Structure 1
Amino acid sequence: MSLEVRLQSRLGDFEISAEFAAGAGVTALFGQSGSGKTSILKMIAGLIRPLSGRIEAGGRMLFDSEGGTDLPPPQRRVGMVFQDARLFPHMSVSRNLTYGRWAGKRDSRADFGRITNLLGIEALLDRYPATLSGGEMQRVAIGRALLADPALLLMDEPLASLDQERKREILPYLEEVRDETGLPIVYVSHEVDEVARLADTLVLLSDGKVLGSGDAVDMFSKLEFGPALGRHEASSLLSGTVSHIDQQYGLCAVTLDGDQRLYIVSDRVAVGDRLRMRIKARDVALSLEAPSGVSVRNVLPATVRSFARDESPFVEIVLDISGQALRARITRHAFDALGIQPDLPVFAMIKSVAIGQRMLSGRK
């Protein structure tokens, strides 16, 4: 399944011009409030009509201004999940789940038992929304969207109304939906943690324009997008496999793609798990020599790929760690003292405690 979007629109004085393409998995529309994320999502759903452009999902043309195609929302086979669950309070969970396909008059091919098992809501079927937690309600809302037999799933900041505990509860289920359904999922968020954990493709938006789009790991490593991602949130996404768990010290060894080893603190992983880890640039220190007698458990040989220096007190650096990109932010004073230049071999130091559990995700 694939999604192709090219559209132009004007909402009052606000102009939107967006073009991007994505395949199965999660495409994150990321940007600050007012960047046009939700408006683009509503255009894909058919709730707002663009001035011009085209939207194609899974080989079906949903909108084409030149060809005269503009399918109404019920015919677009789009599942929509909003910030709030929008469940019917007078209906049981079971009836809420099947309402979408009944209202859309669809003979859904989605298996009811498989979806409820996937989302862990089998025990909730006879309950009513008033008795559910926020996380449970959102899981039911996602199930309702999936059971309506969508060709495309749209999520408009589905975790925004949840507290941190509820977010931790529901994120693994979102990963299961991403990995098991094969649907293109367009996910709107302004939370870097969510994007880093879930996204396969990242579309970076600002003032209604696409600054860039592509593989999420690559996008995070590009220095030119640092300001849009947020200076304090600039990060790298490293991938690897859990190879050993030290129960005595509570440390997990992750063998990175490229064979270097990274130690993290987590009680939620098992040997063999594939992980994507988010490491903030401000948590990476550099040394010209392999340090000894330090508390930092992660000392990784690296090579300087590139850097961006401006009038701020900091310099952004991209390192190569056995083929993966790692960002570091150091002061201009340290940059000059170390003599940083492209292809310089260095050692990157990362505290294990800096890779928090909110920054971990299982990847199949």
Structure 2
Amino acid sequence: MTHAALSVQLSMPRAGFALDVGFDAPAGLTVLFGASGSGKTSVVNAVAGLDPSAQGRIALNGRVLMDSATGVFLPAHTRRIGYIFQDARLFPHLNVRRNLDYARRVTGAPEDPASWNRIIEMLGIGPLLTRRTAHLSGGEKQRVAIGRALLSRPDLILADEPLAALDAARKEEILPYFERLRDEGELPLLYVTHDASEVARLATTVIALEDGRVIRQGSAAEVLGDPHFTPGDIRAVGAVIEAKVTCHHPDGLTELSAGGLPLHLPHIARAPGTELRVRIAAQDVILSREKPEGLSALNCLPGKVAELHTGDGPGAVLSIDTAAGRVLARVTKRSVAALGLAPGVAVHAIIKTVAVAPGDVGGPKG
């Protein structure tokens, strides 16, 4: 049985709604996922000890950080939590080395050269140590912010929309470091985002919030693969499948095996045999009752309709069970009627190779 590293029961008034959430986060990377204004940042600020109005109970590895029933409220600086903010929040008057060493100097902790060297190497920030923070790129600043949080010797890392201020290229620079923290680190992480691609790529556990309530909890595949779950933006609907790199073709495509089915994607710089997660957006899936011929799309996954969800508009979301895993497809209600789509009906899910972006492909741990 997996035991919770972090246990949260919170209630507090917020603008427009009352926050009332409860969840247990096991070891690994837990994502708080939801639209802007759903209460994600309120939760992490309460966990960090930055909101004295919070009511409820928070425990980390069995240590009570807050319990309003008994009057326990540990100050933020005693909670042993590293916080990575959206905008890095580095000290501009200090160089990178002194930013990284700030928490140790404030607490008076002894130097730990082994931890220092390991974290500097993992984040690749050795060449930056003597530079002023004003001379760093956005991606470099976030790597330094991650290092500063780790070097504070925390029991938990909080990351509040850490990639939101970065462009696509800088996001791709930073995402692998969070994958390494998830896979190689011993610390639990609570990571806030409204980006479904980040959830698919990083999450061990997903806590989905809406209007201050937990509406879904589970693995990335379970939460994102639910056709009834709409994460704020209908365009973000999409499922997660697991696959393994088979080979790289000379025309620039990488072939994966997903449950024994071939899947072709733009080149992925991973060695054959590497296991991956792949997010496939529902809007990029076309359905056919018959095996198609004469199409440019290279990926065709046979399966059966598992569930059908229709809303108030003209669209519908279907979940398709295939040997590769569950795939979602967003089509019109007219297409549902024309093709006679219903649970149990055999279909082929067609996916354009170029529709899967680099940010939708990541490491498998979950």
Cα distance, 1:12–1:262 mapped onto 2, change above 3 Å: closer
Alignment deviations for residues 97-132 of structure 1 (CA, whole Å, 9 cap, x no partner):
111122234457670010011111111112221221
- Whether 1:195 aligns to 2:199 is yes
The equivalent of 1:134 in structure 2 is: 138
Mapped partners of 1:105, 1:259: distance in 2: 55
Distance 2:195 2:312 in 1: 27
Unaligned ranges ≥5, structure 2: none
Amino acid at match of 1:303: K
Alpha-carbon distance in 2 for matches of 1:108, 1:27? 30
Once residues 342 and 111 of structure 2 are traced to their aligned partners in structure 1, the CA distance between those partners, rounded to angstroms, is 58
Query: Are 2:156 and 1:152 equivalent residues in the alignment?
Result: yes
Alignment of 1:127-276 (within 5 A): 127-226=131-230, 228-246=231-249, 248-256=250-258, 258-276=259-277
Q: Distance in 2 between matches of 1:100 and 1:13?
A: 36
Aligned to 1:331: 332
Q: Distance in 2 between matches of 1:37 and 1:93?
A: 29
Rounded Cα–Cα distance in structure 2 between residues aligned with 1:38 and 1:335: 39
1:345 alignment partner in structure 2: 346
Distance in 2 (alpha carbons) for counterparts of 1:122 and 1:17: 43
* Aligned 8 A contact 1:106 1:148 in 2: no
Find the aligned partners of 1:182 and 1:325 in 2 and give their Cα distance: 31
User: Does the 8 Å contact 1:8/1:50 carry over to 2?
Assistant: no
Counterpart contact for 1:192–1:229, Cα < 8 Å: no
Output the CA distance in 1 between the equivalents of 2:99 and 2:135: 14
Q: CA deviation at 1:281?
A: 0.6
TM-score scaled by length of structure 1: 0.94
1:26 aligns with 2:29: yes
> What is the letter of the counterpart of residue 283 of structure 2?
R
What is the match of residue 313 of structure 1? 314
Separation in structure 2 between the aligned mates of residue 51 and residue 170 of structure 1, nearest angstrom: 32
Q: Secondary structure at the match of 1:112?
A: helix
User: Is 1:99 paired with 2:98?
Assistant: no
Letter in 2 for 1:87: L
| TM-score, structure 2 as length reference | 0.93
Query: Conserved in 2, the CA contact under 8 Å of 1:265 and 1:353?
Result: yes
Distance across 1 between alignment mates of 2:290 and 2:164: 44
Match of 2:120 among 112, 116, 119: 116
Is the CA contact (8 Å cut-off) linking 1:108 and 1:149 kept in structure 2? no
Q: Which amino acid aligns with 1:59?
A: G
Counterpart pick for 1:45 among 33, 45, 48: 48
Identity across matched positions, percent: 43
Instruction: Find out whether 1:83 has 2:86 as its counterpart.
Output: yes
The offset of 1:192, in angstroms, is 2.2
Amino acid at match of 2:94: M
SS of structure 1 residue aligned to 2:101: helix
Native 8 Å contact 1:242 1:271 kept in 2: yes
Describe the SS at the equivalent of 2:134: helix
What secondary structure, in the 3-state scheme, does the structure 2 residue paired with 1:225 have?
coil
SS of the residue 1:80 aligns to: strand
Q: Deviations over 1:6-59 (max 9, x none)?
A: 111124664211111111222111222221111111000001135432111122
What is the distance in 2 between the residues matched to 1:105 and 1:216? Answer: 40
Runs of 4+ in structure 1 over 6 Å off: none
State the secondary structure of the residue aligned to 2:235: helix
Matches of 1:234 and 1:107 in 2, distance apart? 48
Please report how far the alpha carbon of residue 307 of structure 1 lies from its aligned counterpart in structure 2 after TM superposition: 0.6
Residues in 1 aligned to 2:321 and 2:16: alpha-carbon distance in whole angstroms: 43
The one-letter amino acid paired with 2:77 is P
Q: Which amino acid aligns with 1:325?
A: R
Q: Distance in 2 between matches of 1:124 and 1:141?
A: 12
Give 1:264 shift: 0.7
CA distance in 1, matches of 2:158, 2:302: 41
Distance (whole Å) between structure 1 residues aligned to residue 222 and residue 68 of structure 2: 33
Determine the C-alpha separation between the residues in 2 that align with 1:224 and 1:107: 52
Deviation at 1:334, TM superposition (A): 1.6
Q: Give the conservation status (yes or no) of the 8 Å contact 1:106–1:149.
A: no
> Corresponding residue for 1:286?
287
Quick check: 141-150 or 172-181, which moved more?
172-181
Per mean C-alpha deviation after superposition, the further-off stretch among 106-115 and 231-240 is 106-115
Report the 3-state secondary structure (helix = DSSP H, G, I; strand = E; otherwise coil) of the residue aligned with 1:224. coil
2:74 alignment partner in structure 1: 71
Pairwise CA RMSD: 1.8
**Count of residues in correspondence between the two structures:** 361
Tell me the alpha carbon deviations over residues 33-89 of structure 1, each in whole angstroms, 9 at most, x when there is no partner.
221111111000001135432111122111122233211111111000111122122
Distance 1:71 1:169 in 2: 35
Structure 1's 113 and 274: CA in aligned 2 closer, same or farther, altered over 3 A? same
